[in-house]
Structure 1
Amino acid sequence: MNVRDALFEKLESKESDMVKHRRYLHQHPELSFEEEHTAQYIKDFYKGKDVTVTQPVAESNAVIVEIKGGKSGKTIGLRADFDALPINEEADVPFKSLNEGVMHACGHDAHTAYLLGLADALIDIKDQLAGNIKIIHQHAEEMPPGGAKQIVESGALSDIDEIYGIHVAPIVGPEVIAYNKGNAFSGSSTFTLTIKGLGGHAASPHKTRDALVAGTNFVNTLQTIVSRRIDPLEMGVITVGAFDAPGGSNVIQDTVTIKGTARYLNNDLEQFMYDEIEKVAKSVAVGFDITYDLDYQFGYPVLYNHPEQTQNVADVLSTSTGDYFEHLVEIPPVTGSEDFAYYLKEIPGTFYIVGCKPEEVEEPYMNHHPKFEVNEDALLVAAKLLGEIALNGLAARE
């Protein structure tokens, strides 16, 4: 039996374990940088196994597991994240979140579950591996600066030759695997603008400096950055997600708080968007005689899938089409962001998408929705995919 068949046989025998892992983690979600129990669950899983387990980042929950193969070769990194989101779950599942206001609404429970299953299978056949595997259980993907940046800066991945990861998405079912090359996921930054005016009585607006009107002008003018300041051939998005101006109908408010995000597929736009948003804030301050504070947080960079590694994997997967999945599709860039981008800035590799649309659902709830659900058939597909990628990266011999 060749190494691929041996790995797949092991994975199939561990599918029920992956489902159990996923459901336990789903019931016990933890927020970014607070995943102590999740990290302990992962470390406990590896107890007694012939691997090296480390926590490379001080005062964080990242766990790295090294599987040493029986033959010499490269070192391949495989990563899954394990943090949850501050969302109150509304999905009708028997393993619903037990932590009020916290939910695995992005699928990181599934990511961790399939990587635990894959790691276990790789450990079983490690003597047949032509190289080493580093399993990266990453904390805090959802909150910048993110766990990936901390792991990279720790130096724990300095010996890795290639790195790969997967995200589940319910756009399609588990029979579909998607990939893209080059600038694949957008970079992102977030901002909070606090506008301070002079409040007063609604009947005497001339005696106030209306922060709400100034804020409305700021929001409207922001849209001209994309429509008039960025090349139409470049992808740029600015979205205001919160406009907070509580008060009564007869009160002109003193203060308004506005929160938003900027996204881009060209890293050159990262600084440009900040500069333009700052200009708009300054112009509003002058025009409406208010003061402001702009808290701007540069987030994740553009995720760049290295073309050589992406094409190599696509070529290998094309021979597996019809086996554990049905369709391999190349897709356009994704406007979502991922801190896996930090790994790819330093290490060649690529990031794939596996469909997880629940069966018999026409309009699935997307990632980050309180009713988000995962088709658990995606766990075995993802484990086989990442396993096949790893074996290909190691150039495994039969």
Structure 2
Amino acid sequence: MLTNDLLSLEEREAVIEMRHAMHREPELSNQETKTQKRIIETLKRFGLGGARTFHNTGVYIDIEGLAPGPTRSIALRGDIDALPIQEDRDDLPYRSQVPGLMHACGHDMHASIALGTALAFHRMRNNFSGRVRVIFQPAEEAEPLGGRTVAEEGLLVGFDAAVGFHVDTDIPAGSFGARAGAVTKSSEQFELNIIGTMAHGAESHAGVDAITITGAFINEVQKVVSREMPVDDGAIITIGTIHGGEATNIICPSVVMTGTIRTSSPERRSLLVQRVREVAEGVAATHRGRVEFTSQSGEPAVVNDAGMVERFRQIVIRSAGEDKYVQIKPSSGSDDFGFYSGCVPSIYFQFGSREPGNETGVHTPTFGASDKILIPATELAIQYCWELLHD
């Protein structure tokens, strides 16, 4: 049975120090070399050797319990990459020192929570059985995704559960949230090359206008969502970029557009991609053109295990109070923790950061979160993993 103050003073200082160091020196997805080195060195400083690397810039460490008892295995993830955003927070003494980069999504906090969890379980290894694998995962924000590597390299094989978390600017600081079922959407990226025939603008009949086909496609493809998808799926088709045209008096011969396809249903992921392709081909054929369509699977939807969510709710109520638990709303965003939840029963919970001075959302130049929420979130993660090990 664990109590409050699950982290020693030295461990707390290490958690805060890691957060500040990462925030000062943010690194983009798949470039987290300094962060990787900093994590490994900090683990060694506390006696945790044997850290292993993956996905070039990732790190994971196994803490084996030495006590007799159940031999359950629990994985916990903290992502480590930053974003190409210029920070606009001069009030932070640990603000980013790298022009154009910042931790605008809280991954500096996520990684620090993961560090605190590893340090605590290492110190308590004589008091628990089983295994805790702490994964410091790179490249959550951009391809090639670190979460996909976790799944493909079998880093969750033999594990009973996985734990992930994310700072939430919609939840008050000091509160925590979760929900059963899909909490994010899957994400597929597509590229569509619409091919027509060039002609003089005064003789449009002699050409095939790729821009006209593009306009028709944009209108028609949204009907896949409004007429073919269940309302509660919340499917989204977004056209993100369009490039085409050479002059004001030339019938455009080709347009390239890119976009994303999102759904909360694993079963409808491939169907949506198929229908986008079919609509593009049909519209192009109607207008005497043709298309080249390619797609890339991104993050699966993150799906929370109902039993794990209920256990989390009980822990929050017991440790922080009934008013500190929030039933979160599903997000239309994506997270590659979906690769984890596709492998083992998982939970992806939220810890709140909203308070005066920290009210703007993630992925913005003014995003920020107070250090004071970091230790409670870390100790909650430790308590939760402890109970999962002794289920």
Q: What's the TM-score once normalised by structure 1's chain length?
A: 0.88
Which amino acid in structure 2 is aligned with residue 81 of structure 1? D
- Structure 1 distance, partners of 2:263, 2:208, is 34
Contact 1:7/1:122 (8 A) holds in 2:
no
Match of 1:51 in 2: 48
Match of 2:361 in 1: 366
Match of 1:385 in 2: 380
Contact 2:183/2:303 (8 A) holds in 1:
yes
Query: Could you list the per-position Cα deviations for residues 58-94 of structure 1 after superposition, in whole angstroms to 9, with x for gaps in the alignment?
Result: x522211112223133222111111122334344444
Which amino acid in structure 2 is aligned with residue 63 of structure 1? V
Contact 1:196/1:211 (8 A) holds in 2:
yes
Q: CA deviation at 1:136?
A: 0.9
- Structure 2 distance, partners of 1:332, 1:83, is 25
Show the 5 A alignment for 1:261-300: 261-300=260-299
Q: CA deviation at 1:248?
A: 4.8
The partner residue of 1:22 within 19, 22, 25 is 19
Show the 5 A alignment for 1:1-398: 3-8=2-7, 10=8, 14-55=11-52, 57=54, 60-72=56-68, 73=70, 74-92=72-90, 93-144=92-143, 146-245=145-244, 247-322=246-321, 327-360=324-357, 364-395=359-390
Which amino acid in structure 1 is aligned with residue 30 of structure 2? F
**Alpha carbons of structure 1 residues 370 and 248: separation in structure 2 relative to 1, 3 Å:** farther
Contact 1:199/1:210 (8 A) holds in 2:
yes
- Structure 1 distance, partners of 2:214, 2:99, is 33
Contact 1:53/1:63 (8 A) holds in 2:
no
Contact 2:30/2:138 (8 A) holds in 1:
yes
Contact 1:3/1:128 (8 A) holds in 2:
no
- Structure 2 distance, partners of 1:269, 1:161, is 27
Unaligned runs of 5+ in 1: none
Q: What's the TM-score once normalised by structure 2's chain length?
A: 0.90
Q: CA deviation at 1:145?
A: 5.3
Query: Could you list the per-position Cα deviations for residues 25-63 of structure 1 after superposition, in whole angstroms to 9, with x for gaps in the alignment?
Result: 123222222222221111111124333433353x52221
| Percent of aligned positions that are identical | 28
- Structure 2 distance, partners of 1:268, 1:254, is 36
Q: CA deviation at 1:301?
A: 1.7
Moved more, 20-29 or 218-227: 20-29
Q: CA deviation at 1:287?
A: 2.3
Contact 2:23/2:96 (8 A) holds in 1:
yes
Q: CA deviation at 1:24?
A: 1.8
**Alpha carbons of structure 1 residues 178 and 272: separation in structure 2 relative to 1, 3 Å:** same
- Structure 2 distance, partners of 1:78, 1:271, is 29
Count of aligned pairs between the two proteins: 388
Contact 2:104/2:367 (8 A) holds in 1:
yes
Contact 2:208/2:287 (8 A) holds in 1:
yes
**Alpha carbons of structure 1 residues 287 and 18: separation in structure 2 relative to 1, 3 Å:** same
SS of corresponding position for 1:370: coil
